[in-house]
Amino acid sequence: MKHKGILIVVSGFSGAGKGTLMKQLVHAYDNYALSVSMTTRDPRPGEEEGKEYFFVSKERFEEEISKDGLIEYARYCDHYYGTPREYVERQLEKGKDVILEIEIQGALKIRQKFPTALLLFVMPPNVAELKRRLEGRGTESQEVICQRLKRAAEEAEGIEQYDFIIINDKLEECVQEMHALIRAAHYTPLRNEELIENIRKELDALN
């Protein structure tokens, strides 16, 4: 089967290891393209333009909104975050599966616009491990960790909206598993409408 690419939305608890997982996936297989978001917030130390984000001014961002240049966007804490349309659509046309990381409201907006989008939810194997990972970073205060756990509880409410859950226990296995889930998603009827339509036409012609 020849396929157009699938748009893949990755969500999950902070500390579940989404970022590493996505980077490893793109590194391990050549059918993926990573979408880079656009934001009006300032770069943090170590963040590079075009790698973590495209950093733009508020004016530039609002220009993108007005010309429908973003497939979704949201505003948090007085900053915009959005997904540039052109890159995503070009890669999908080329047959690449495009991955983007986004939280649930954005994920659901994406699904409305792209009914064939695949929604993946990444979880740690258990909550103790989640807490350990958040603490292990060593960079966050107890208060921030508490906020993240609270946020995780909120995000957990939306898990049923996702197509698949991914348990990030051992990274390498998890990358393979994620790849297998995405491959499987290519075989749903919704993502093969043309093929099915052709088979129907051919059958009708014989009958």
Residue of 112, 86, 82, 113 lying closest to 100 (CA atoms): 82
Element of type H or E holding 75: strand 70-76
CA pair distance 207, 204, nearest whole angstrom? 5
Distance of closest approach, residue 98 Cβ to a second copy, in angstroms: 19
| Identity of the residue, 2 or 67, whose beta carbon is nearer to a second copy in the bound complex | 2
**Least CB distance from residue 49 to a second copy, whole Å?**
35
Q: Check if the beta carbon of residue 53 is closer than 8 Å to that of residue 111.
A: no
* Interface ranges with a second copy (CB under 8 A): 1, 121, 123, 126-128, 131, 146, 149-150, 152-153, 156-157, 159-160, 162-167, 177, 180-181, 183-185, 187-190, 192, 195-196, 198-200, 202-204, 206-207
Minimum distance, C-beta of residue 121 to a second copy, in the bound complex (Å): 8
Nearer to a second copy, 38 or 104 (CB): 104
156 dihedral zone (left: phi>0; alpha: psi -120 to 50; beta):
alpha
Do strands 79-84 and 70-76 pair parallel, antiparallel, or not at all (unpaired)? Answer: antiparallel
The distance of closest approach from Cβ of residue 94 to a second copy in the complex, given in angstroms and rounded to an integer, is: 22
Q: Which is closer to a second copy, CB of 144 or CB of 184?
A: 184
Distance CA 152, CA 156 (A): 6
Determine the Cα–Cα distance for residues 19 and 120; give it in Å rounded to an integer. 13
Cα dihedral 112, 83, 117, 95, rounded to 10, equals 140
| Identity of the residue, 49 or 197, whose beta carbon is nearer to a second copy in the bound complex | 197
Lookup: tokens for 76:
């948090």
Our CB check for a second copy shows the closer of 65 and 144 to be: 144
Nearer Cβ to a second copy (64/103): 103
Please name the amino acid found at residue 47: E
Phi first, then psi: what are they for 14, rounded to 5°? Answer: -60, 130
CB of 197 to a second copy, least distance (A): 10
Cβ of residue 2: shortest distance to a second copy, in angstroms?
A: 11
